[in-house]
């Protein structure tokens, strides 16, 4: 079995990736700075579900701080690094771009340096569908033009992809870059639409809708994302791979689906389109199928059932989670 270093292990995707690695019998050192970019109770909840076990070690570390990161790394030998630690989200990056570049770029640089120094055979880097911008044909292929991102968040991830490519070229590192498409599921991020919409409709609060609701998103269930992320640990050389649901859905349709599951009607408060938001996303996932033998297993109907059920089960505290952008 392998030994892996996973950053952002208390984050939404990170916790599911660690859970899958542990279930497969691997050992994991997980790091997370447990910041307050969103309600830390969600991170505590996820981390608590990972539990105390011999093959999981948690270290509270910020990947931007190289010396503490090196200490957390220790003298262990790793079969792979999975970098999921990031400042995520389009709208907050417009307000505070600096922190996005510090975490997303400098943090990745620190990890690439450690992986190079210790000859780690595999590096997996999380990226985003937001890179595809406005002008590419859908579904988005990995070889599309990503030189015109719409937000500092997307731009920071584009910079990380370039950095990964340079390390692969210069040092022969085997690096998989995964472009995730609108990930959702139980215990998701509260700045993402599905968590927000479920909470707002369930509690009878105004549902803040940016734009006319005709924008489309390619929603991808978090366990499918975790499966694809672990699959990307195989040796491939430098590759960029989409992980998406391959089924764009309009936001208005999503709202109706959530209303049906809660048996309540949304009170919609319409706002102007948010700066930096993409009008539509859709992943071409043929490369993931070819290289990773991966395709999504959970459709949106099933995934929403599980997500709404989780919210209702955890409602005592989940209803108080702040869902600001």
List residues with catalytic annotation.
153
Residues facing residue 27 across a β-bridge: 3
d(CA 133, CA 208): 23
Question: Nearest Cα to 245, choosing from 214, 222, 276, 268?
Answer: 222
**Residue from 77, 134, 81, 129 nearest 108 by CA:** 81
- Cα dihedral 92/158/125/30 (nearest 10): -30
Cα–Cα distance measured from residue 22 to residue 71, given in angstroms and rounded to the nearest whole number: 22
Q: Which residues contact 81 (CB under 8 A, 6 or more apart)?
A: 4, 5, 6, 7, 111, 114, 115, 120, 122, 123, 124
Q: Give the span between the Cα atoms of 33 and 223, in whole angstroms.
A: 23
How many residues belong to the chain? 325
C-alpha to C-alpha distances, 312 to 92, 202, 218, 231, nearest whole angstrom: 28, 9, 24, 32
């Amino acid at each position: 079995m392998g030994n892996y270093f996973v950053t952002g292990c208390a984050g939404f995707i990170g916790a599911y990736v660690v859970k899958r690695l542990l279930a497969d019998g691997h050992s994991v050192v997980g790091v997370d700075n447990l910041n307050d970019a969103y309600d830390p109770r969600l991170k505590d909840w996820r981390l608590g579900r990972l539990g105390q076990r011999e093959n999981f070690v948690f270290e509270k570390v910020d990947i931007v701080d190289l010396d503490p990161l090196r200490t957390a790394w220790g003298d262990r030998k790793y079969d792979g690094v999975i970098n999921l630690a990031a400042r995520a989200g389009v709208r907050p990056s417009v307000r505070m771009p600096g922190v996005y570049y510090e975490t997303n770029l400098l943090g990745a640089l620190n990890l690439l340096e450690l992986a190079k120094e210790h000859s780690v055979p595999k590096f997996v880097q999380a990226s985003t569908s937001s890179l595809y911008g406005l002008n590419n044909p859908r579904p988005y292929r990995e070889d599309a033009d990503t030189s015109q991102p719409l937000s500092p968040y997307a731009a920071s991830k584009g910079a990380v992809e370039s950095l990964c490519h340079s390390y692969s070229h210069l040092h022969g590192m085997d690096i998989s870059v995964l472009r995730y498409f609108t990930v959702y599921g139980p215990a998701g991020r509260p700045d993402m639409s599905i968590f927000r919409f479920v909470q707002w409709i369930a509690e009878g609060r105004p549902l803040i809708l940016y734009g006319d609701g005709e924008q489309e998103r390619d929603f991808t269930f978090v366990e499918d994302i975790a499966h694809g992320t672990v699959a990307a640990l195989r040796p491939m050389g430098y590759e960029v791979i989409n992980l998406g649901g391959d089924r764009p859905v309009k936001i208005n349709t999503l709202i109706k689906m959530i209303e049906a599951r809660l048996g309540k009607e949304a009170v919609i408060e319409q706002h102007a389109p948010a700066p930096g938001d993409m009008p539509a996303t859709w992943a071409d996932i043929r490369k993931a199928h070819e290289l990773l033998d991966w395709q999504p297993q959970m459709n949106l109907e099933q995934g929403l059932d599980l997500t709404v059920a989780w919210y209702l089960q955890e409602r005592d505290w989940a209803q108080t989670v702040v869902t600001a952008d």
